[in-house]
Amino acid sequence: MTALGPRGLGAFAAAVALLVASASGLPAVLPGAFLAGLLLTWMLGRAGRRVVAVLLGVLGAAMAGAGVAAALPGAEASASPWAAWAYAALGLAAVAASVWLAANPGERRHAVSPARAEVADTLASWKAMDAGLDPTDDRHEQELP
């Protein structure tokens, strides 16, 4: 599972579940919501990714439950039993990816470089750029206007 990563496994599970799901109703919406949540994790920090991972785990559990409910005898036969069990298995894969993502949310993504954080005066930075200098480069610090 390390080759795919949690987002890759979850995206694969949700994409295949979209193909397996019935044409309408909640089972068709859950994989799309899961994919949207995975996309959201790329924009969030560590705490946000953990919160979204827990919510994605709930969505995966709902997918697994919907698949099992559709496969039980007496259920409305909108899809073949193998498709319902495949949908349930993909829901479990989505839960596994969510647990993995919650346990390993990753590093902080947008670290500020120390040189860029030191540039305080924006007017001086613009003047340095007009002069052809890089205001974030420490070598030119004494040359800034």
pLDDT in tens, 15-46: 666 665 555 677 778 888 888 888 888 888 88
Tell me, yes or no, whether 128 and 94 share the same domain.
no
**Is the pTM of the predicted complex or chain greater than 0.75?**
no
The tally of domains found in the chain comes to: 2
pLDDT greater at residue 83 or residue 64: 64
Give yes or no: residues 98 and 121 share one domain: no
Same domain, yes or no, for 59 and 98? yes
**Boundaries of domain holding 22:** 5-103
- Asked, for residue 109, whether it belongs to a domain, the answer is no
Do 65 and 23 lie in one domain? The reply is yes
**Rounded CA gap, 22 and 87, in Å?**
10
